[in-house]
Amino acid sequence: AWSAAMRANLDTAFVAARACLPDLIERRGAIVLVASIASLAAGPAVCGYTTSKHALIGLTRSLARDYGPHGVRVNAVCPGWVRTPMADAEMQPLMQRYDETLDAAYQRVCADVPLRRPAHAEEIADVCEFLVSPAASIVTGATLVADGGSSIVDVPTLAFDHM
């Protein structure tokens, strides 16, 4: 699982960036790495995934520092829950445990997210589009969190919300 996570999340990003850098330098282009809120915190029983996503932030910063002088901007996006086939599959244990629908499972995982919903893939694509656009021409080495606010929640205080 460790090797698979590193290969899928970190190695592919590195190899793709390395392959594109000559053209990106010539065009003064931009890279957006898709990380995750798992880049910022750890979930249970996903050590390889979490570590590989944390490493993407390091890769983002290293590439931004090394290739910024060549006109290449590099940023990362950290989505939270996004309604995708992969996330739908991750909802299956909740659906079975609580005998609930897919929509109810998403509601459950987003119950403490300020926007109370997962993102749609198009919303994350829009964030990526912004980061490669001229509107973000001064942004490099940044980590943009697109999680509906889940990463701003102070988890130890959640019990007080229900008082």
3-state SS string for 7-66: HHHHHHHHHHHHHHHHHHHHHCCEEEEECCHHHCCCCCCCHHHHHHHHHHHHHHHHHHHH
2 found inside a domain: yes
What does pTM read for this prediction? Answer: 0.93
98 tagged catalytic:
no
140 found inside a domain: yes
Pick the catalytic residue from 49, 67, 98, 106.
49
**Mean model confidence pLDDT for the chain:** 95
Give the residue, 155 or 16, on which the prediction is more confident. Answer: 16
pLDDT band at 156 (very low <50, low <70, confident <90, very high): confident
117 found inside a domain: no
114 found inside a domain: no
Checking if the pLDDT of 125 tops 80, the result is yes
Q: Which pairing describes strands 82-83 and 73-79: parallel, antiparallel, or unpaired?
A: unpaired
Provide the domain limits for residue 23: 1-80+136-148
pLDDT at 159: 75
110 found inside a domain: no
Total domains in the chain come to: 1
Instruction: Kindly report the CATH number assigned to the domain that includes residue 74.
Output: 3.40.50.720
89 found inside a domain: no
Q: Could you give the 3-state DSSP secondary structure of residue 117?
A: coil
Tokens read off for 89: 């599959």
Please, what sign has the CA dihedral across residues 98, 163, 158, 121?
positive
44 found inside a domain: yes
Tokens read off for 57: 């932030």
pLDDT band at 160 (very low <50, low <70, confident <90, very high): confident
pLDDT above 90 as % of the chain:
91
Checking if the pLDDT of 154 tops 90, the result is no
54 found inside a domain: yes
pLDDT at 162: 67
Average the pLDDT over 106-111 and give the result.
96
